[in-house]
Chain A
């Protein structure tokens, strides 16, 4: 951080000195200015990363401190879990249904239609269910957290909490991050179940398959270890969504405009990080 600031100051002085002593062309001055802006942006980016890691370490520290806000944690579990159920139900069901309808003709042409339940279950449980549910949650929960905490900051509610002998990190952040980490895997599981149900409905549009048979076929090639990486990564998705949403809200500026920005950037960044975490998880699973 110190090094970056040093470079910035040096460069500022260069910009001031060049026109007087060297009489450079407009192009040189523009180039120097552009370089300064780029270094400034890089510096801001590095500062943001440093602040995020400080925020993360403070969150971890407060998670294991005494006086855990259990009541607020339960309230957040309700807000994140129960209040997202309807949305996840519709989306999970439709994903399973659409996947089945679209995959069926291809499998029929290969004479492998019997593999349809297994293929849909595999893609739902390993990839589609976790990623799509996490992205939906990033939109709904991440933006909600960013906007709520951001507006609390703008209206001095976080300061009020602090002077009321309440640690805002413990009360607002830890509870939300833990609730998201716990609830999103459950929502993914629920979405997977409804997706498989949607798939069964899809199969029955053009056929007549007993649910028990369909369910048995869905999991016929599955082993228990196949579930583990898919489940583990959903905990990381939850943690990322909770952390980014809270971080963006907590570090929002003082104006009302910053609340909108916090919500927006919470969605963008958490969605991006969900995809990156998924990529890392897939790579690790592949290596094992």
Chain B
């Protein structure tokens, strides 16, 4: 058993100040393999934080721990000042209502059409909205991602890029304050990848969200990053502005930014 970290954090400064997510000494392993060894980071209000790293470096595990799809072995994750490991039931649900998660595969519900896919989280999270308001909200968000005409299409009728856009629309339809993107441009052609990156920036400006973007697509990093963190071997290898990474002489960083 790994030793539980007992670090006590200062209360998070959220809305009016700085941090919407605070992670201290996060550890997570699967069996004998320790994926995240000691991760500490903070997400500022309104920033796009890009987490960069090779496949298997624990990027996806990190954001799954944030939203508590995975339980950390040790460490503290605070979202809007709430310790995620201590939240259960309604408390966890309330925090999750403020977080949007774009899955790598899109994770659209196969048995539902686009409209039903978007209604599903909306009805559960914004349960006071009537049908007219729901329809309006869905139409607005679909227009934002440029797919107003896909309302009644099934996921199987959509291309990879369209699926990603619809997933993004489903993520933002609940008006989240934090967005977690798990490799948003993976598996897409360069043109569609650029469109998704631009969409991420548009969403941040329009909805004033804070985002953690997991990627190993450098063009996506260049388009979206306010700040970059590189993960390697379960640890934070480097943290800084995009320019610092671009100018770095470190062979590992250069291998990404060549």
Which residue numbers of A lie inside 8 Å of B, CB to CB? 148, 151-152, 155-157, 159-166
In the complex, B87 has a CB within 8 A of chain A: no
In the complex, B104 has a CB within 8 A of chain A: yes
How far in angstroms is the closest Cβ of chain B from A259?
12
How far in angstroms is the closest Cβ of chain A from B96?
5
In the complex, B109 has a CB within 8 A of chain A: yes
Contact A159 B103 (CB under 8 A): yes
List of A residues within 8 angstroms of B101 by Cβ? 159-160, 163
Contacts known (A162-B69, A166-B124); A156 close to B97, Cβ less than 8 A: no
In the complex, B110 has a CB within 8 A of chain A: yes
CB closest chain-A residue, reference B104: A156
Q: Restricting to B86-107, which residues have a CB under 8 Å from any CB of A?
A: 93, 96-97, 99, 101, 103-105, 107
Contact A165 B104 (CB under 8 A): no
18 contacts between A and B (CB under 8 A): A148-B111, A155-B105, A156-B103, A156-B104, A157-B109, A157-B110, A159-B69, A159-B107, A160-B107, A160-B109, A161-B109, A163-B99, A163-B101, A164-B96, A164-B124, A164-B125, A166-B120, A166-B124
Interface of A, secondary structure class, is helix
Contacts known (A155-B107, A157-B109); A165 close to B93, Cβ less than 8 A: yes
In the complex, B253 has a CB within 8 A of chain A: no
In the complex, B29 has a CB within 8 A of chain A: no
Minimum-distance CB pairs A-B, first 5: A164-B121, A160-B107, A156-B107, A156-B103, A163-B101
Contact B69 A163 (CB under 8 A): yes
List of B residues within 8 angstroms of A148 by Cβ? 111
Which residue numbers of B lie inside 8 Å of A, CB to CB? 64, 67, 69, 93, 96-97, 99, 101, 103-105, 107-111, 120-121, 124-125, 174
List of A residues within 8 angstroms of B64 by Cβ? 159
CB closest chain-B residue, reference A79: B111
Contact B124 A165 (CB under 8 A): yes
List of A residues within 8 angstroms of B108 by Cβ? 157
List of B residues within 8 angstroms of A166 by Cβ? 120-121, 124
Complex Cα distance A164/B110, Å?
16
Complex Cα distance A159/B97, Å?
14
Which of the residues A156, A161, A163, A164 comes within 8 Å of B105, measured between beta carbons?
Answer: A156
How far in angstroms is the closest Cβ of chain B from A154?
9
How far in angstroms is the closest Cβ of chain A from B64?
8
Most buried by B among A156, A160, A161: A160
Which of the residues A160, A161, A165 comes within 8 Å of B125, measured between beta carbons?
Answer: A165
Contacts known (A155-B105, A157-B109); A164 close to B69, Cβ less than 8 A: no
How far in angstroms is the closest Cβ of chain B from A77?
15
Which of the residues A151, A155, A163 comes within 8 Å of B67, measured between beta carbons?
Answer: A163
Complex Cα distance A160/B64, Å?
11
CB closest chain-A residue, reference B117: A160
How far in angstroms is the closest Cβ of chain B from A65?
10
Complex Cα distance A164/B69, Å?
12
How far in angstroms is the closest Cβ of chain B from A201?
39
List of B residues within 8 angstroms of A157 by Cβ? 107-110
Complex Cα distance A160/B170, Å?
10
Complex Cα distance A166/B121, Å?
8
List of B residues within 8 angstroms of A160 by Cβ? 101, 103, 107, 109
List of B residues within 8 angstroms of A162 by Cβ? 69, 96
List of B residues within 8 angstroms of A155 by Cβ? 105, 107, 110
Most buried by A among B99, B107, B121: B107
Contact B121 A165 (CB under 8 A): yes
CB closest chain-B residue, reference A151: B110
Complex Cα distance A151/B111, Å?
12
Complex Cα distance A151/B107, Å?
11
